[in-house]
Homo-oligomer: A and B are copies of this chain.
Amino acid sequence: MARVVVVGGDAAGMTAAAALRRRLPREHEVVVLERGEWTSYSACGIPYWVAGEVGDAEDLVARSPAEHLEHGIDLRMGVEAVALDVDARTVTTDTGEHIAYDALVLAMGAEPVRPRLPGVDGAGILGVQTLGDGQRVIDALEDKPEHVVVVGSGYIGLEMAEAFVIRGIATAVVERSPLPLSMLETPLSQKVATAMRGRGIELRTETEVSSFELDAEGHVRGVRTSGSGGEDVLPADLVVLGLGVRARSALASAAGLPTGVKGGIVTDVRQRVAGVDGVWAAGDCVETRDRTTGLPVHLPLGTHANKQGMVVADDVAATLLGEPPRLTFPGVVQTAITKFCALEISRTGLGEQQARDAGHDPVVVSIETSDRAGYMPDAGALTVLMVADRATRRLLGVQVVGTENAGLRVDAAATAITAEMTVDDVVMLDLAYAPPFASVWSPIQVAARAAVRALNA
């Protein structure tokens, strides 16, 4: 009999644990340590919960602790792993217990970046990484905040800003870069900025937070900023930090395990932690690899966490049972999607600078088209930006901003990038055409034709 210990009970950890429980004979133990009070939840759903579109925290839970216990997983809630000994193969918990393992799965997730600024520990300054964080934002809404400031305008910042706009709360967004959503190229970020301002958001770009102003009770009342427009204080009863996340990997690095980009634990394609036997890692706490460049990246997304959890389960089971493993995680192409009110926003592959950094000579084109045949009523506008490699003509990246039916267009592009197609190949793809869905050329192909023209010029 063997014991698998999983540290962390969200997407990656519970996917691995549940798959292992199904695959391993009953004499093997699957132990999960979860320091919080929730399991298998969708942190990505928090903005929609805050917006009031999702009823409560329970709705975001795919499988509760009770359900996992029922399925035979030895789930220990409220227990935190505080030390690992990978030679002795033990995990030490905050309750002082030493748990021996045959296989260890690290799935601690990520933690929001908290800037070390004066006042940052004041009340009403919240991150949004766990359901507990989400609950604190929901609770703060009870006090009827009049002014919310969102710090950072990445995906989470944008989605939280949308949630507060839907709630009818005056919302300001502070962003260090010249434009929001810096993972987009300039022409697309500009459209997002326009949409944000169009919905009444006070968007302060090229602006940094210098401190948080607290009242006598220690509650936030303002955000002091400095930027292109000089010094200012934005009123705030509630501040949400959307400055991105780092891998929660201190436990791993303290045990001598290798970490890389944004603290992500370094693994191979079977999610085995590099250089140590018997330890796997998955989800937001690992670094992964871009399939095009081969370079390490940190992309904390539930979809990767689920896939990696599946790979871990396959490899751990194969190891314990002496069977050949079947799965590998091949890496990512940096696909992401979000929306801001009616505007859909997505990207896949490399941006121009990323392509340059990876040694490509990128050709970049941007086109405007419509989401259906131009003569159809309510045709929506769509901007597609495409990055291609000049030497090989390979498709490197696609970014889309537009109304209905815009965002998911990147899925075909993500597939084409994975298949190492050229832009010429993309032009000849047999993509879906009918007047309510596209012109005779799909938006992705309109962009590919522009890329071909640019390459042939």
Contact = CB atoms under 8 A, between A and B. Distances in A.
A305 B433 CA distance: 12
Given A408-B409, A412-B414, A431 B335 contact: yes
Interface stretch (A40-48, A76-84, A215-223, A242-250): A40-48
A348 to B, nearest CB: 7
Contacts of A48: 375-376, 435-436
Interface residues of A, number: 67
A337 B437 CA distance: 8
Contacts of A428: 307, 329-330
A228 to B, nearest CB: 31
Contacts of A45: 373, 375-376, 435
A440 B320 CA distance: 28
A414 B425 CA distance: 13
A419 interface: yes
B415 A337 contact: no
Contact of A411 (B303, B332, B409): B409
A434 interface: yes
A339 to B, nearest CB: 6
A338 interface: yes
Contacts of A333: 430
Given A329-B428, A375-B54, A435 B44 contact: yes
A97 interface: no
Interface in A301-326: 301-307
Nearest to A305: B440
A128 B444 CA distance: 30
A410 interface: yes
Nearest to A55: B375
How many copies are assembled? 2
A429 interface: yes
A437 B408 contact: yes
A418 B407 contact: no
B407 A437 contact: yes
A432 interface: yes
Contacts of A304: 430
B411 A373 contact: no
B375 A337 contact: no
B53 A440 contact: no
A42 B408 contact: no
A414 B435 contact: no
B415 A416 contact: yes
Given A42-B435, A303-B441, A407-B437, A430 B348 contact: yes
B434 A337 contact: yes
B377 A53 contact: yes
A353 interface: no
Contacts of A54: 375-377
A346 B412 CA distance: 15
B302 A433 contact: yes
Contacts of A303: 430-431, 433, 440-441
Nearest to A155: B434
B307 A427 contact: yes
A2 interface: no
5 contacts: A42-B440, A48-B436, A405-B405, A411-B432, A415-B421
Given A336-B434, A411-B432, A412-B415, 14 more contacts: A54-B377, A155-B434, A301-B433, A302-B433, A302-B440, A303-B431, A335-B431, A337-B434, A409-B411, A410-B432, A411-B442, A411-B444, A412-B414, A415-B416
